């Protein structure tokens, strides 16, 4: 283990020991728990170091060669490298690496193609879609006319015939595919045909699966979707940021929507870290990692299913598992809180056709990206499934001592899998 963590926090410890102690406590928490939140991961020490550089000192409104501040000789090179790596890795004509996060990236797409009141279509939030795909509590649902498709009640999968029917009826100008709780492969080609038939722009939101796409473990939307949005963390294993990829035709509209349409200067330290993550994602080892994520998810799904967990769509094709706890006689929220106490971190989540409220739903969302990064393999997934099952049953039966016992076992297990960028003092 290197001293990267110590070096990065040496001055912080003397200037603000209170915050330094909290950061160290978070490092210990991340190290001692099995982290199964589908949207989280561990960045490499190189990405962590790039994020903490003095590039954060520089303001850079505009784009490379077209800035509104002087002194951009170095920053322009950093951004150009990130853009080129993104284009090469995903095979896209154009890449914008400036969006601050996934939601602003999606909002930029609306700004590029729609006017308030125009019709957009996306997967409904309770079915696995994202807030920014036109859901009612989001600005995208308040400012635009949103139409939503779902999944089959029995299959748990998207019915493209339903999507086609809705598109023909409502004629959306934008169609979103992808989402935040979809355990199955997205049929980009099928969505592309529907968009073409209805003269709509197809937007593939691959925030969750970008690393799988980059590593060849999931089909790519490039060549099907005219616009692709993604965060740069999750399976891609970069910093907290976002990118928009597009064909050449839409490059100008996308860039104008990001800046000056929605934001000012990009976060240059994040851009540098994105560039580093993209370089890592171009390596053969990343492909191995991406395929291992899927293998681990399938193994974990099998372990849970064999213990009576009801999995939406019956399993998974990617990094994500969605479990309905109705048959376990416990809600998703109390189960998630109990699992956290037991050393297993995931999130409660709505399942399709859920009869419970969104803040107290029936499901759990589980992902294998972070445990894969730590080096856990398929041989470890059944053990994790066993701990999950024991913890859920203990929560249902209000056996808190059992949760503490599991936490001790998990802590000992995690000691064999160090995390990048932190080590115990």
Residues tagged in the binding site annotation for (6S)-5,6,7,8-tetrahydrofolate: 125, 129-131, 249
Strands 174-177, 201-205: pairing kind: parallel
For residue 77, how many other CB atoms are within 10 A of its CB? 12
Strands 145-149, 119-123: pairing kind: parallel
CB 342 within 8 A of CB 410: yes
Cα–chain-centroid distance for residue 118? 27
C-alpha distances (whole Å) from 18 to each of 11, 15, 104 are: 13, 9, 32
- Tokens, residue 248: 């050449």
- Tokens, residue 292: 């291992």
Closest residue by Cα to residue 222 from 189, 175, 198: 189
Dihedral pair phi/psi, residue 274, rounded to 5°: -60, -45
**CA–CA gap between residue 420 and residue 418 (Å, rounded):** 7
- Tokens, residue 224: 């099907």
Positions annotated as catalytic residues are 59, 61, 205, 231, 234, 240
Beta bridge partners of 337: none
CB 364 within 8 A of CB 332: yes
- Per the annotation, binding residues are 125, 129-131, 249
**CA–CA gap between residue 311 and residue 408 (Å, rounded):** 27
Q: What is the DSSP string of 182-194?
A: --S---HHHHHHH
CA diameter of the chain = 64
C-alpha distances (whole Å) from 252 to each of 95, 172, 230, 289, 424 are: 11, 22, 18, 34, 48
């Amino acid at each position: 283990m290197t001293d990267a963590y110590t070096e990065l926090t040496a001055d912080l410890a003397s200037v603000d020991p209170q915050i330094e102690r909290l950061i160290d406590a978070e490092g210990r928490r991340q190290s001692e728990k099995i982290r199964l939140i589908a949207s989280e991961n561990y960045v490499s020490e190189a990405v962590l170091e790039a994020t903490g550089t003095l590039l954060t000192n520089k303001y850079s409104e505009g784009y490379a060669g077209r800035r509104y501040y002087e002194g951009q000789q170095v920053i322009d090179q950093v951004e150009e490298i990130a853009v080129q790596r993104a284009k090469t890795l995903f095979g896209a004509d154009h890449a914008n690496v400036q969006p601050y996060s996934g939601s602003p990236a999606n909002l930029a797409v609306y700004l590029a193609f729609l006017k308030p009141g125009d019709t957009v279509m996306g997967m409904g939030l309770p079915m696995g879609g994202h807030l920014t795909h036109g859901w009612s509590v989001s600005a995208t649902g308040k400012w635009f006319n949103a139409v939503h498709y779902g999944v089959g009640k029995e299959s748990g999968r998207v019915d493209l015939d339903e999507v086609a029917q809705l598109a023909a009826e409502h004629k959306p100008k934008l169609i979103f595919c992808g989402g935040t709780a979809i355990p199955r492969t997205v049929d980009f080609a099928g969505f592309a045909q529907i968009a073409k038939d209805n003269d709509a722009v197809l937007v593939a939101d691959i925030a969750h699966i970008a690393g799988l796409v980059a590593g060849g473990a999931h089909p790519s939307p490039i060549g099907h979707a005219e616009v692709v949005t993604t965060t740069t963390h999750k399976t891609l294993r970069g910093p907290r940021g976002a990118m928009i990829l597009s064909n050449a035709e839409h490059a100008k509209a996308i860039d104008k929507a990001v800046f000056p349409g929605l934001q000012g200067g990009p976060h240059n330290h994040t851009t540098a870290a994105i560039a580093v993550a993209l370089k890592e994602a171009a390596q053969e080892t990343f492909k191995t990692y991406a395929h291992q994520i899927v293998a681990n998810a399938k193994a974990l799904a099998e372990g849970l299913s064999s213990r009576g967990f009801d999995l939406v769509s019956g399993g998974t094709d990617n990094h994500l598992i969605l479990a309905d706890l109705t048959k376990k006689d416990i809600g998703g929220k109390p189960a998630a809180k109990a699992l956290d106490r037991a050393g297993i971190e995931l999130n409660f989540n709505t399942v399709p056709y859920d009869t419970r409220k969104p803040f107290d739903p029936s499901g759990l969302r589980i992902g294998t990206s972070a445990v894969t990064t730590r080096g856990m393999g398929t041989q470890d997934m059944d053990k994790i499934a066993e701990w999950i099952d024991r913890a859920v049953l203990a929560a249902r039966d209000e056996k808190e001592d059992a949760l503490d016992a599991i936490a001790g076992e998990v802590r000992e297990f995690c000691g064999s899998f160090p995390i990048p960028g932190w080590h115990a003092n």
